[in-house]
Structure 1
Amino acid sequence: MRKLLTVIAVIIILLAIVVGVGQWMNSNNNGPNNPIPGAPNGGTEETEAQNPPGCSAYEFISAPGTWESSAMDDPMDPTANPRSLMLSVTNPLKEQLPEDQVKVWTLPYTAEFRNVNAMQEMSYDDSRREGFDRMAAELRATHEACPATKFIISGFSQGAVLSGDIAAEIGNGSGPVPASSVAGVALIADGRLERDKGNFIGNTNNTGVGAEISLNIVNGLVQPIVPGATMRGPRPDGFGELSDRVNNFCAPGDMICDSPRDFGNALQRARELVGDNAAHALYASNPNVIPGQTVPQWIVDWARGIVTAG
């Protein structure tokens, strides 16, 4: 009986994730400036590198979520999904800051999520790997051409997972650029979220973890529902040197980042959360994540603060 309940709980969680991923209602409210937790305090070694003409002081790298990007999209003018959540961050930054201060680059990747209702799509594993490799290539190329440029990395949902994976490699010394080149990271609904890794911004009501952690112990049950979606568990070494520069955002009840920790009560927990998984679609308007403003507004203020203080 216990095994049956666990299977049912896994199915409920996975279906909630499939329904919730990539579906959000756009909102364009402006909010007040906030402090900048997780911003680096700078170091003398960072002043040694110099950029040639044509380089921006900062590059903001944006990773859209599932179904919000395309492998053929223009990274400087993305149009694959006009309702992409990350556009509510990148468009204001482009409007408020000149390109010599910040280059805004949006990750073009397939951004699909094969599941029982869409077997023709690229698998989560392959899509995530494609996005990771393309972001790493952009970081590497910019660092080689513009060694003094600092990076701000942000992503939503699947984009948050691969952004967090890159941040983890950079922070632990195996990434495409040195940790000193990363000014900050902002992850919205990271599927490998752990509350004690990085800075948790906003509400403190969440008790869950990222879905890849919650479902790691039942990978065999995941594959029939979401083929090619490996639930890898936590990032084993955290964010290393970048720990104080990584900011996490997770709406209560968002099954991508607030899944049950213990499958002993997974069925009850899943039933409680599945009805509220619309939370994954409402980061542009949800007031229950950060009091007084939305997550995109917070990230715009935070990133602008880093750039203008640079």
Structure 2
Amino acid sequence: MKKALTVIAAIIVVALIIGGIAHYVSTRDDQQLPPGAEPAPTEAPPTPEQPDWCPTYEVIAAPGTWESAADDDPINPQANPNSFMLTVTRPLQERYTPDEVKVWTLPYTAQFKSRQAMDQMGYDESRDEGTSRVRGEMITTHEQCPKTEFILTGFSQGAVIIGDLANDIGNSDQPIPADRVKGVALVADGRREPGVGIDPGYNVPGVGAEVSLEALNPVVGLALPGATMRGPRVGGFGSLSDRTFEICAPNDHICDLPIGVPNAIDRAQAIADNTGIHAQYATNPDVIPGQTTSQWLVGWVEGLIDN
């Protein structure tokens, strides 16, 4: 019995040795190829497929302050029937089927706390909420529909949100690759700088309120609790600079201010009020030659899609 166990143990040891030698030889052969020989080609990862239900384009529109709500319907927004962005999104929805173009309007708490409206959400919190929701929408669409291209646009507070995302995408390919963005259009962007992006209008010389008032944040905070003026965007729009448009009406205090406005508190309150020229982009003929901003935006989107 003892002899039989010894024989079995010997057989096992020999088998292990042979197996080890075979593994060594095969591994060595893979690592040390004969001179001039090339390793067998590895297959490239498959190109992600685009499901049939995916739209060819997705237009994302971000409304301005008081023009949206957190529980609004992103496909059929109802929060504010006078929202500027509706003058752009509705014609597009009438022109294209959802299979061709998905038009998605950002639902967020578009508010701006001030001394006269202390019950409102603060600007920073509102902006962060909107940014998070747009990022989520883009990531979800790109994961499900990797070939869908995006067209991004926003007004006022919504322009700041879309502009900040364009800054991220153009400089880091996040949260989606820059080559998936067909174009960006910002209307009355509070972080606007002349020469950053393309101005289709009259090359307004001023800067956005957040750039103008950045150095006066302690004073601005007295008029607008919870609002931080973040200054210019580092890196501009990066690789998206050649397809990002900045639209600003002359003398609009949101996007056309001198640096360091002396009466910072009064100017900050005017920013929160959203009145005057800032509220007239749908009808003002003096922003872009020959047409209103709404007409230009609709034509711009149609041009990107149809061409």
**Which TM-score applies when normalising by structure 2?**
0.80
Task: Tell me which structure has the larger Cα radius of gyration.
Answer: 2
Tell me the residue number matched to 2:118.
Answer: 119
Tell me the residue number matched to 1:179.
Answer: 178
Contact 2:166 2:237 in 1 (8 A): yes
Distance in 2 (CA, whole Å) between partners of 1:305 and 1:207 is 28
Tell me the residue number matched to 1:305.
Answer: 303
User: Which letter does structure 2 place at the counterpart of 1:292?
Assistant: G
Report sequence identity in percent.
54
Tell me the residue number matched to 1:139.
Answer: 138
What are the superposed Cα offsets for residues 195-243 of structure 1, whole Å, 9 maximum, x if unpaired? 1111011123x22100000000010000110001000100011100000
What secondary structure does 1:172 align onto?
helix
- Measure how far apart 1:259 and its partner are: 1.1
Task: Tell me which of 220, 244, 247 is aligned to 2:245.
Answer: 247
User: Which letter does structure 1 place at the counterpart of 2:144?
Assistant: A
Tell me the residue number matched to 2:281.
Answer: 283
What secondary structure does 2:154 align onto?
strand
Give yes or no for the alignment of 1:257 onto 2:239: no
Tell me the residue number matched to 2:148.
Answer: 149
What are the superposed Cα offsets for residues 48-106 of structure 1, whole Å, 9 maximum, x if unpaired? 65411110000000000000000000101100000000000000000111222210000
Contact 1:253 1:277 in 2 (8 A): no
User: Which letter does structure 1 place at the counterpart of 2:172?
Assistant: G
Tell me the residue number matched to 1:216.
Answer: 214
- Measure how far apart 1:261 and its partner are: 2.1
Deviating above 3 A after TM superposition, structure 1's stretches of 4 or more consecutive aligned residues are none
Distance in 1 (CA, whole Å) between partners of 2:90 and 2:209 is 29
User: Which letter does structure 1 place at the counterpart of 2:250?
Assistant: P
User: Which letter does structure 2 place at the counterpart of 1:94?
Assistant: Q
User: Which letter does structure 2 place at the counterpart of 1:86?
Assistant: M
Alignment of 1:4-23 (within 5 A): none
- Measure how far apart 1:308 and its partner are: 1.3
Tell me the residue number matched to 2:38.
Answer: none
Contact 1:55 1:146 in 2 (8 A): yes
What secondary structure does 1:194 align onto?
coil
Distance in 1 (CA, whole Å) between partners of 2:152 and 2:136 is 14
Alignment of 1:160-175 (within 5 A): 160-175=159-174
What secondary structure does 2:185 align onto?
strand
- Measure how far apart 1:175 and its partner are: 2.0
Distance in 2 (CA, whole Å) between partners of 1:197 and 1:116 is 33
- Measure how far apart 1:260 and its partner are: 1.2
Contact 1:254 1:277 in 2 (8 A): no
Task: Tell me which of 282, 289, 295 is aligned to 2:293.
Answer: 295
User: Which letter does structure 1 place at the counterpart of 2:141?
Assistant: T
User: Which letter does structure 2 place at the counterpart of 1:161?
Assistant: V
Q: Cα distance 1:54–1:302, how it changes in 2: closer, same or farther (>3 A)?
A: same
User: Which letter does structure 1 place at the counterpart of 2:143?
Assistant: E
Contact 1:156 1:190 in 2 (8 A): yes
Distance in 2 (CA, whole Å) between partners of 1:149 and 1:207 is 36
Distance in 1 (CA, whole Å) between partners of 2:237 and 2:301 is 19
Superposition CA RMSD, Å? 1.9
What are the superposed Cα offsets for residues 269-292 of structure 1, whole Å, 9 maximum, x if unpaired? x7xx99x96110100010110121
What secondary structure does 1:223 align onto?
helix
Distance in 2 (CA, whole Å) between partners of 1:197 and 1:100 is 34
User: Which letter does structure 2 place at the counterpart of 1:237?
Assistant: G
Tell me the residue number matched to 1:98.
Answer: 97
Tell me the residue number matched to 1:13.
Answer: none
User: Which letter does structure 2 place at the counterpart of 1:232?
Assistant: R
- Measure how far apart 1:262 and its partner are: 4.7
Distance in 1 (CA, whole Å) between partners of 2:197 and 2:235 is 12
Aligned residue pair count? 256
Distance in 1 (CA, whole Å) between partners of 2:214 and 2:288 is 29
Q: Which has the higher contact order (CA 8 A, sep 6+)?
A: 1
